[in-house]
Amino acid sequence: MGVFSAPLSGWLAGKWGWILLQRVGMIINIAVLIVISILPQSQWVVFTSIAVLGVTYNGLILTTINGLGVLLSPEEAPAALPGLNGSAFGIGASLGIGIIAPYVAQGTISGYSTALWVSVCIAVLAFIASLFIAPRQGQKL
């Protein structure tokens, strides 16, 4: 899903603003995670929600955060933010698996649901962090 939505997201970000599109993606992502958390036993809800997450997470969030890393990097260190973003992604993926795995490993709907709610909390924290992204002076982001 991200393969198709990422180019569209980059194009929309140039028109609507990188920060706005990133936050919209985060809000949709959180809403979809809440839906999956409430209805984890419905295969169609989970299937459809995962497809939407492919668009919102892979397309909107990752595309815009990578673009913002390039746009907001200082001129004297243009690779600083993209490098930090890549490092943070790797660390976050590892920590996320470490935090969620014990709940999923229970093999129960309750464990799965708990893992999903922890994911919702992490996504909300990420959205709050996104509120601290500010454009450079005179730059429309």
Residue type, 72: L
Q: What does the pLDDT average to over 9-26?
A: 91
- 11: Cβ–Cβ under 8 A, 6 or more apart, which residues? none
**What is the structure's pLDDT at 125?**
94
Per-residue confidence band for 111, with pLDDT thresholds at 50, 70 and 90: very high
Distance CA 35, CA 39 (A): 6
User: Taking all residues of the chain, what is their mean pLDDT, rounded to a whole number?
Assistant: 90
Taking only the tens place, the pLDDT of each residue in 46-85 is 999 999 999 999 889 999 998 888 888 888 888 888 888 8
DSSP state letters, 52-96: HHIIIIIIIIHHHHHHHHHHHS-TT-TTHHHHHHHHHHHHHHHHH
**What is the structure's pLDDT at 22?**
93
Per-residue confidence band for 136, with pLDDT thresholds at 50, 70 and 90: confident
Phi, psi of 136 (to 5 degrees): -65, 160
- Judge whether 12 and 123 are in contact, CB under 8 Å: no
Distance CA 83, CA 34 (A): 31
Residues in the chain: 141
